[in-house]
Amino acid sequence: MDEQIVRDHAQAHIDALRAGDVGAASQEMSPELQRHLGELVAMLPLPLTDATVESVEMTGTGYVTVLRLSGEAGTVGINARWKERDGRPMIVEASRVSEPSAASEAEVEPPETQV
């Protein structure tokens, strides 16, 4: 399992989601995740209008991808942890990327000093 193979599987996963084929998308998930498919689908802004693989990083014995998924309900980032199962990469864990709050994104000006 290498970065390009994981990227290819991540792309197949989001392509299936964009096509509305949750069954095909679930084939990239471990059996444990497939048992909780409803919870995972609830995190997504379906139907999707756009989906990209933002990054693929090796972490220990697996990889983590960041998937950016957009739909009419908004945009979410999903961290997907991939491990080799049955000779191929599979998503073994998925969670939403925590977005920075509006306050932390705003530039904070230093207070004015009086002379």
Note the pLDDT tens digit of each residue in 68-94: 999 999 999 999 999 999 999 999 999
CATH for 55? 3.10.450.50
Provide the domain count of the chain: 1
| Interacting residues of 61 by C-beta distance below 8 A, sequence separation 6+ | 83
In a domain? residue 75:
yes
Q: Is residue 106 part of a domain?
A: no
Is the full-model pTM beyond 0.85? no
User: Which amino acid belongs to residue 89?
Assistant: P
Answer whether residue 103 is part of any domain: no
| pLDDT at 102 > cutoff 90 | no
| 111 located within any domain | no
Q: Decide if 11 contacts 24 (C-beta within 8 A).
A: no
pLDDT value for 103: 43
The tens digit of pLDDT for each residue in 8-52 reads 999 999 999 999 999 999 999 999 999 999 999 999 999 999 999
Range of the domain at 33: 3-98
